[in-house]
Amino acid sequence: MTGLPEGIAEILEQRPIRLGTRASPLAMAQARMTAAALRERWGLAEEQVELSPVVASGDRITDRPLADVGGKALWTRELDWSLGGGAIDLSVHSMKDVETVRPETFLIAAMLPRADVRDVLLGATSIEALPEGARFGTSSPRRAAQIRSMRPDITTVLFRGNVATRIGKLQAGEADATLLAAAGLDRLGETLDGMVSARLDSDTWLPAPSQGAVGIEVRSDDAPMRALVGGIDHAETSICVFAERALLLALGGNCHSAVAALARMDGDTVHLRAILYSEDGADEVGGETRFTGTDADAPARLAAELLARAPATITKLFDPG
């Protein structure tokens, strides 16, 4: 095994690379993809990269909106303990679930190529096609506000739990429609056989910041793992997702704020678009910016510009600090 980053061969003489992940089916699928990418990139054997699943608080508490019980930290807390304590070498995350402020001792050192960023509507072929007064299942402030901005007649019902649970709730008639990330469905190989569905165009229906991206986190001082993971980084995905996260950080968004944002590369230019909504979707403020890698403050400037134009129904949901 030549070409391995410095220090990795010595580790592999003792033990496998330990890749921490949440235990949900989607998280496990993403961790397996990450392990496969590492083996492929560095010519490692199956047993040299090992998955270490942990049950996250966010997966245990499924009867309340996350915003009410501790927010995104509930997805990362247990993994952070393992990574910080050295029980694992890497944490694999759905970037959408990772807080914008991470412990300084950690570093998101790589991202896998981004999957389909779109939301998938289940239960109808379009938002317009939903019947008057339809019940829409979600726990996402963004999705609720987006739906209600187009269709104020629609009511929302709380939908939590993993992808399979939410599909089951829809099939059981707890709601008429729901939205799920295409990335999750695709990575799970979910075929949705027989269900009416539609992938919503990301030009007109912006997804959540970081949707469809998988990130790999290391301890900042772990140079061998930084180099190992850096070898599988998909630069375009990292640039776009870091831009979306910079916007979110500057906005001071929390679990109650409805933010849709998507960055795309256009040659060397990053094109970042965003929309903020009031809780009921009645008010919205959108904008966009184009910038190159040398202009790291562009997402923060867009955030400030959006908040400056936003009515109080929106600004009260943010704390730009």
Ligand X SMILES: NCc1[nH]cc(CCC(=O)O)c1CC(=O)O
Nearest to 59 by CA among 34, 28, 103: 28
Nearest to 260 by CA among 209, 204, 201: 209
Residue type (1 letter), 217: E
User: Measured from the CB atom, is 34 or 48 closer to ligand X?
Assistant: 34
Whole-angstrom Cα distance, residue 251 to residue 254? Answer: 9
User: Measured from the CB atom, is 49 or 183 closer to ligand X?
Assistant: 183
The pair of three-digit structure tokens given for residue 62, joined into one six-digit string? 């499924």
Whole-angstrom Cα distance, residue 67 to residue 53? Answer: 24
Compute the least distance from the CB of residue 305 to ligand X, in Å.
Answer: 26
User: Measured from the CB atom, is 163 or 307 closer to ligand X?
Assistant: 163
Strands 119-122, 177-181: pairing is antiparallel
User: Measured from the CB atom, is 8 or 262 closer to ligand X?
Assistant: 262
Q: Is 201 a catalytic residue?
A: no
Q: Which residues lie below 8 Å from residue 203, measured CB to CB, with a gap of 6+?
A: none
Compute the least distance from the CB of residue 83 to ligand X, in Å.
Answer: 19
User: Measured from the CB atom, is 114 or 219 closer to ligand X?
Assistant: 114
Whole-angstrom Cα distance, residue 244 to residue 96? Answer: 10
Q: Would you put residue 113 in left (φ > 0), alpha (ψ -120 to 50) or beta?
A: beta
Whole-angstrom Cα distance, residue 248 to residue 288? Answer: 14
Compute the least distance from the CB of residue 257 to ligand X, in Å.
Answer: 15
- List contacts with ligand X (CB under 6 A): 94, 96-97, 163, 180-181, 183-184, 211-213
Compute the least distance from the CB of residue 67 to ligand X, in Å.
Answer: 12
Compute the least distance from the CB of residue 192 to ligand X, in Å.
Answer: 13
Partners of 272 in the β-ladder: 263, 289
Which stretch of DSSP H or E encloses residue 177?
strand 177-181
Which stretch of DSSP H or E encloses residue 28?
helix 25-42
Among residues 97, 176, 222, 233, the one annotated as catalytic is: 97
Whole-angstrom Cα distance, residue 289 to residue 274? Answer: 9
SS3 180: strand
DSSP 23: S
Compute the least distance from the CB of residue 132 to ligand X, in Å.
Answer: 26
Compute the least distance from the CB of residue 172 to ligand X, in Å.
Answer: 18
User: Measured from the CB atom, is 211 or 289 closer to ligand X?
Assistant: 211
The pair of three-digit structure tokens given for residue 171, joined into one six-digit string? 């099939």
User: Measured from the CB atom, is 27 or 285 closer to ligand X?
Assistant: 27
Q: Are 237 and 114 in contact (CB under 8 A)?
A: yes
Residue type (1 letter), 278: S
* Catalytic residue numbers, as ranges: 97
